[in-house]
Amino acid sequence: MDSLVPMDNEVQQGFETLAIHAGQEPDPATGAVVPPIYQVSTYKQDGVGGLRGGYEYSRSANPTRTALEVCLAETEGGARGLSFASGLAAEDALLRTVCRPGDHVIVPNDAYGGTYRLFAKVAQPWGVEFDPVPLGDIAAVRAAVRPDTKIIWVETPTNPLLGIADIAALAAVARDAGALLAVDNTFASPYLQRPLDLGADVVVHSTTKYIGGHSDVVGGALIAADPGLGERLAFHQNAMGAVAGPFDAWLTLRGIKTLGVRMDRHCANAERIVEMLTRHPAVRQVLYPGLPDHPGHEIAAKQMKAFGGMVSFRMESEEAAVRVCERTKLFTLGESLGGVESLIEHPGRMTHASAAGSPLEVPADLVRLSVGIEDVADLLRDLERALS
């Protein structure tokens, strides 16, 4: 053994160490401590087929994107990470790598509206059938399995109802069914929850949200537990072409470095806001997995490090819900989530409008908060004023 090797390869590094260093060794050409933005489409070859460092064309691979992909794989504990132009591009690549027309997918009956639209308006016309099932009910999931079921698709916590699914239990159902368990880990992020450790086969992210963390970039990712599946996904990533560009990859890498400290604050602020909302007379119900009476509380406590920065609540009426959304000042009225700034929205008319009339329709009196990392006293004051 070379005595200069600084770290035993067997040592499992902690999350923040991986987030800051995995895939991000100082640049070999200059020593730059942060991976540069390789804003380039093609690479000089030393003789025909003589690639330096394996790069030939940036759809296939780009060094800035590689840095992000390695970092994503290591922070989720997977064999292979792949980064895409958006979360939905990642979902589409997964769907079309694993499924053929005639196959079947089980999806949550409460999920991101765009995910439902992808299944209902793109995958189904292409020939992939799907069934929305309440994932909290393991027997219902088992009953929905068909011989041609290829994926059990999980979101936990769900968007926007903050439902919790038991990843380990669903992994067992998927294993028995010969299907893949895919977990959309966007709401929790790898800092709070590591689905591959619980038996999932592939993790899906909208890196637009907590991983990017600053509302300045749209991106998506897939992380596969198994190198074979990773290879097949990488083939489709290149063949279909919806890759993340170098600047987007760089912004996302910059975001992931601080994910742990940001997430600690998101969670702490969310807990204070939940405490206020549960006591407020204008609020009918607060949906947050950290509440002991939340039906998924025990499972969330088991599989998550903390309960996250997303909070939903129900008002007495649709009008009251819309009114709150339009009265906050610090909580900005807008779609998306996971950034340092707090956001508020009305899912029924905004993010989940495309699910109207479907099994995924959301209650009209629902308000969703993405609790940011501002001073919590200011956030509490803003919400209390809007509720009054």
- Catalog residues that contact ligand PLP under the rule CB under 6 A: 86-88, 112, 114-115, 155, 159, 184, 186-187, 206, 208-209, 218, 220
Using alpha carbons, select from 245, 246, 203 the residue that is nearest to residue 64: 246
Q: How far apart are CA 88 and CA 114, in angstroms?
A: 7
Using alpha carbons, select from 235, 231, 191 the residue that is nearest to residue 209: 191
Q: Which residues pair with 333 in a beta bridge?
A: 344
The residue from 55, 103, 110, 112 that is catalytic is 112
Q: Strands 285-287 and 149-155, how do they pair?
A: unpaired
- CB closer to ligand PLP out of 166 and 345: 345
CB of 44 to ligand PLP, least distance (A): 34
- CB closer to ligand PLP out of 60 and 336: 336
- Catalytic site includes residue 96: no
In the complex, residue closest to ligand PLP by CB: 87
- Catalytic site includes residue 112: yes
- CB closer to ligand PLP out of 95 and 283: 95
CB of 208 to ligand PLP, least distance (A): 4
CB of 211 to ligand PLP, least distance (A): 10
The residue from 92, 103, 184, 201 that is catalytic is 184
CB of 167 to ligand PLP, least distance (A): 15
CB of 153 to ligand PLP, least distance (A): 10
Residue 334: Cβ within 10 Å count: 16
| Cα Rg of the chain, angstroms | 21
CA distances from 113 to 147, 211, 347 (A): 27, 20, 9
Q: How far apart are CA 95 and CA 151, in angstroms?
A: 8
The sign of the dihedral angle between the CA atoms of 244, 306, 284, 184 is: positive
- CB closer to ligand PLP out of 164 and 218: 218
Size (the chain), residues? 388
Residue that has been written with the tokens 């997977």 in this structure: 78
CA distances from 89 to 150, 205, 215, 252 (A): 19, 10, 18, 16
- Catalytic site includes residue 184: yes
- Catalytic site includes residue 209: yes
The residue from 65, 80, 150, 209 that is catalytic is 209
Q: Strands 129-133 and 80-84, how do they pair?
A: unpaired
The residue from 27, 43, 59, 272 that is catalytic is 59
- CB closer to ligand PLP out of 74 and 155: 155
Which residues participate in catalysis according to the annotation?
Answer: 59, 112, 184, 209
